[in-house]
Amino acid sequence: MVDLSWHALWTGLVWPLLRLTFFISVGLFVGDLIESLQWTRHAAKLAAPLARRARLGDISAASFTMAFFSGVSANTMLAQAHENGTVSDRELLLSNLFNSLPTYFLHLPTLFFIAAPFIGRAAGVYVALTATAALLRTLLITLTGRWLLPPVKEGCLPCRLDEMERNRPKASALAKTWKRFRKRLPKIVTITAPIYTLFYVLRQAGLFQWLEGAMAGHVGLFSFLPPEALGIVAFHMAAEFTAGLAAAGALIASAQLTDVQVVLALLLGNILSSPMRAFRHQFPYYAGIFKPRMALKLILCNQLLRVATIALVGAVYAAFA
């Protein structure tokens, strides 16, 4: 029976939700501020030598650097070079795959500072694992590029960074942060509050206990996860990452799941939801930059490599956690 007394609602739902919303607000603001301060410019300087080791040409190396600031601009640069014959099909594919590293690091602060209020210590583990998968993809593309592409002349990517910085529109980092914060926070809260409330009601109604009994003795594809964790996967697939985090936060708060189970559920939700979501959101603008056939090929290769590396990292984590 669901306990709807004021004390139960305050201690089990209202106060945890208010506290969570506060920390989400702080984390989102800090993450947006770090991104607005162009922290990726310094990351690009450290990562630029990888582009040369992968034997990427001048345009591809510049696109790699640009991807630390804008994925659309980086892809546009590659598409124009491909149309002009400067970049081959093979180099275009490898360059686009290679750009997944800066694209990931571009949003890393926001990813962590949004996840941390929901799942605490598990956020650090989840971000570390997805970052490891991104680095693994970069290593694989670097080795593949050295095998498939011809050597290139040494360039000056730090010079390109300085040029990009001079040409970048100047705006107050604080003003940009506040503008993005006001736009993103209401969306996150409108997702978080209903899901957190729903999980509270379902837990009080005994749904998870019923699911556990129903699944007892049956071996399924995802039997390594408890029934509660499958709710995280479902929300991750049906809505977006924030929905999965909201579900995970509710279950951690009630001690229904361990940090390891939450991380594995989020990784599984990432693997199952990303390919279709990427196709739905990326294909329209990819097809506007590249030819439709090439756009589809790039998205498929990106997602196959992404799923493979996250699955590998997740399997290793599950084996040793």
pLDDT tens per residue across span 116-155: 888 888 999 999 999 999 999 989 999 998 888 887 665 5
Here the tokens at position 260 are 């390891």
For residues 117 and 27, is the Cβ–Cβ distance under 8 A?
yes
Instruction: Please give the pLDDT value at position 218.
Output: 47
Helix (H) or strand (E) holding 106: helix 100-106
In order, the DSSP letters of 162-225 are HHHHHHSPP--HHHHHHHHHHHHHHHHHHHHHHHHHHHHHHHHHTHHHHHHHHHTT---TTTTS
31 pLDDT exceeds 70?
no
Q: What is the pLDDT of residue 176?
A: 78
Residue ranges per structural domain of the chain: 6-320
| Joined tokens for residue 311 | 């699955």
Q: Which of 186, 177, 194, 27 is nearest to 117 (CA)?
A: 27
Average pLDDT rounded to a whole number, residues 49-63: 78
Long-range contacts of 7-15 (CB under 8 A, 24+ apart): 12/200, 12/204, 12/254, 13/196, 13/197, 13/200
Q: 162 or 12, which is more confident?
A: 12
pLDDT tens digits, residue range 67-119?
Answer: 877 777 788 878 878 888 888 899 999 999 998 888 888 778 878 888 888 88
Residue 234 has pLDDT above 50, yes or no: yes
Give the pLDDT confidence of 251-279 residue by residue, as tens digits: 887 777 888 988 998 898 888 877 777 77
**pTM recorded for the entire structure:** 0.73
